[in-house]
Amino acid sequence: EENQLYEVKGTYSLHKLCELLGIVPADDWISSTVSGFMIEQLERVPQEGDTFIYDYFTFKATGVKQRRVNKVQVKRVHLTEEEHKL
């Protein structure tokens, strides 16, 4: 779907978000929340505005206070197959 944009709390269930987005969770994920997933992917506590791409979606920390990720913006991105493999 074009321009899919979600804003979720850091405490939101990672499993529910994956179901919503159609992402298949990896077996080695430790996190159960979106906040934990961001920390796991970035390998550090995110700062405001930190972003990464996972499986055709950008995850952006939009609300970080006192080393806690309160809000995350998730947006569908359009990648070619080649870009997706990187």
pTM of the complete model:
0.85
pLDDT, one tens digit per residue, over 54-63 is: 989 999 999 9
pLDDT, one tens digit per residue, over 4-55 is: 899 999 999 999 999 999 999 999 999 999 999 999 999 999 999 999 999 8
- Spatial separation of the C-alpha atoms in residues 27 and 78, rounded to whole Å: 25
Domains of the chain: 5-85 (3.30.465.10)
Cα 50 to Cα 1, 75, 77: the distances in Å are: 24, 14, 16
Which candidate, 71, 75, 69, places its Cα nearest to that of 21? 75
